[in-house]
Every structure is written in C-alpha cells, then in structure tokens.
Amino acid sequence: MANVTNKRPLSPHLQIYKPIPTMVMSIVHRITGGALAVGTIILAWWLIAAASGKPYFDWISWLLGTWIGLIVLFGYTWALVHHMLGGMRHFMWDMGHGFDKHFTTKMAIALPVVSICLTVVIWIVGLAI
C-alpha cells in the first residue's frame, strides 16, 4: 500500500508561528481560566473553613496570610481581573467591534498592563480597609 501522506503538506506547529501579542493573550486567557479553577478551590476551602469553626478558620487565615499565601492570592486576583478583561474584549468582538489589526494588537499589549494596575489598586484598597 502506498503512503499517500508523503505529498501532503504538514500542519504548522507552534515552533513555526511567530508569537504575536493577540496569540500570546489568547494563550494567557486560557491559562488564567485554569488558574481560576484552582483559585476557586482555595476560595471554597476558605469558606468551608469559615463554616467549620474558629480553630480551622484561624489556621487557613494564617496559611493564606503567609508570604506564599499572599502571592497565591495576588496571583488569583490578577488571574480574575485579567480573565475578566479578556472576556470583555471577546464580548466586544462578539458585538462586531474592534477587529482592526492594529487595534487588536494595541489591546493585547495593553491588557496585561491594565490587569496588573487594576490588581494593584484592588489590593491597595483591600489592605486599606
């Protein structure tokens, strides 16, 4: 039997594509979606601890108050904000706006900057209260 696939072109791989901002933000949007699943488990753990009693809640609050816990919570906040802004971008596209190549590239470049700034503002307000 002859191998008919020898003359057919191969599908491109990630190694062939040049990363562009919109492609990177699409990948980051998927990663933040996965991070939100893990962060929601931590949030549910904290709520279960609150319902379980003071000693367990105090232990979870201590754990999340360590520097590692604060980094995880900061990352969860950033993932939430970043994913929300990406979802708003997709909603805008669903409405038929913002398909110009230069505009989508500018939005993809601005998205991480805006999400980090909003996360820092949320944490400043949260720590101030």
Residue 90 assigned ligand-binding role: no
Task: Tell me which residue has tokens 């909603």.
Answer: 91
Fold of 21-128: 3 helical TM bundles of succinate and fumarate reductases (1.20.1300)
Tell me what pLDDT residue 14 has: 65
In this prediction the pTM is 0.84
Nearest 5°: the CA angle 87, 90, 96 is 150
Beta strands (DSSP E) in the chain are none
Give the pLDDT of residue 47: 96
Give the pLDDT confidence of 93-106 residue by residue, as tens digits. 999 999 999 999 99
Q: Are 71 and 77 in contact (CB under 8 A)?
A: no
- Residue 62 banded pLDDT, cuts 50, 70, 90: very high
Mean pLDDT in residue range 59-74 = 96
pLDDT at 2: 54
